[in-house]
Amino acid sequence: MSGPAHASPQQARIVSVVQESDTRAAVWVHSAAMNKNIKVFVLTPRTRTGPRPTLYLLDGAGARGHNSGWREAGGVEEFFADKDVNVVLPTGAYGTFYADWERRDPTVGKPMWETFLTKELPPLIDARFDTTGSRGIAGVSMGGQAAFTLAIRAPALYRAVASISGCPPVSTAHGESYVRATLARGGANADNMWGQTGSRGWRDHDPARHLDRLRGKALYLYSGAGRLGPADIKRNVSPEEGLYQVVLAASSAFEIATSDCSQRFAGQLRAAGLPFTDAMQTVGTHHWYYWAKELPRMWKAIEPSL
């Protein structure tokens, strides 16, 4: 069993819980670190036989508002309804990399998501939702990178870590470019998150520089290759065809970048003697169609460790 997560007294707290269905609760949590309420969804199985492990699933940079991409497009509710696990879906982290930012940014403010996810939220989930204290963390795109960074920043918390179309290393030229481009799409400045290029902040949050902190965990790496598959081929031409082609090109380019980054990270894991599930593909773009298809394979790989 993983070690307990500790929160400072009289800080983070559950504000409200609304049971929206037999397997889904909407939970509002006050984060003292960010001084605001954060909405998280907690999925529990239809049949509850006792304490369960917990899987935290992080969104990509495009998730906005108080919903989860995993709910909207990832098929998580149907998939996990008969699985003996609690699933936690944080919302509202658009364009933040789930990090504690060094300085206030004009666009995103001063996020403190690392503190929220590693110190404030876990003890509240454990106390309310009948958990074993064993946790895994996974994410897509920005969330895939963040899953590995949070795992090296708080290694005692997680037994399993998975990146789906993410770029775990961040202090290389390729990795930093990926992070900066992702944040720039939402108007944020990465200097405000981890400092200027080459600074300690980038190195401290780079899983590739702290591989020993991943030892003993189940690790999973997926990426497409940016090559178009059947799901990317639009057969019926429409007035939006031009826009579709622009979006498709961007989706392909982002997946090429994450594939290159993930392949480099896979090589570093092998060189360090760290076993992992290699789920690299030869086809696939940066899209929920592929990520939803990957969910069952990812869960099969990491579930035994929980």
- pLDDT for 110-127, tens place per residue? 999 999 999 999 999 999
pLDDT at 85 over 50: yes
Q: The domain that contains 24 carries what CATH number?
A: 3.40.50.1820
Which range marks the domain in which residue 159 is found?
13-305
Report if residue 266 sits inside a domain: yes
1 — pLDDT class (breaks 50, 70, 90): very low
Could you report the per-residue pLDDT of 123-145, keeping only the tens digit for each?
999 999 999 999 999 999 999 99
Q: How many helices (H) and strands (E) does the chain have?
A: 10, 9
174 vs 287: CA distance, rounded Å: 21
pLDDT at 64: 76
Report if residue 64 sits inside a domain: yes
48 — pLDDT class (breaks 50, 70, 90): confident
In the chain, what's the furthest Cα-to-Cα distance? 58
For β-strands 13-19 and 36-43, DSSP reports them as unpaired
User: Can you point out the beta strands (E) in the chain?
Assistant: 13-19, 24-31, 36-43, 52-58, 86-90, 131-140, 160-164, 218-223, 277-280
260 vs 248: CA distance, rounded Å: 18
Q: Which amino acid is at 280?
A: M
Task: Specify the pTM.
Answer: 0.91
9 — pLDDT class (breaks 50, 70, 90): very low
Q: Distances in Å between the alpha carbon of 288 and those of 88, 92, 238?
A: 18, 18, 22
Cα dihedral 68, 70, 75, 81 sign: negative
Report if residue 1 sits inside a domain: no
pLDDT at 245: 53
Report if residue 6 sits inside a domain: no
Could you report the per-residue pLDDT of 265-290, keeping only the tens digit for each?
999 999 999 999 999 888 778 788 88
Report if residue 130 sits inside a domain: yes
Report if residue 2 sits inside a domain: no
Structure tokens at 104: 């206030």
Rg of the chain taking only CA atoms, in angstroms: 18
10 vs 32: CA distance, rounded Å: 9
Neighbour order of strands in the sheet with 52-58: 13-19, 24-31, 36-43, 86-90, 52-58, 131-140, 160-164, 218-223, 277-280
Report if residue 4 sits inside a domain: no
Could you report the per-residue pLDDT of 153-176, keeping only the tens digit for each?
999 999 999 999 999 999 988 889
pLDDT at 252: 66
Q: First and final CA of the chain: distance in angstroms?
A: 8
Number of compact structural domains in the chain: 1
Could you report the per-residue pLDDT of 217-272, keeping only the tens digit for each?
999 999 987 667 766 665 444 444 544 454 555 666 777 778 788 999 999 999 99
Which neighbouring-strand residues pair with 140?
164
pLDDT at 216 over 90: yes
Report if residue 179 sits inside a domain: yes
pLDDT at 61: 84
Cα dihedral 114, 145, 275, 55 sign: positive
- Residue 49 CA, distance from chain mean position: 28
Contact assessment for residue 56 and residue 90, using Cβ atoms and an 8 Å cutoff: yes
Structure tokens at 2: 């993983």
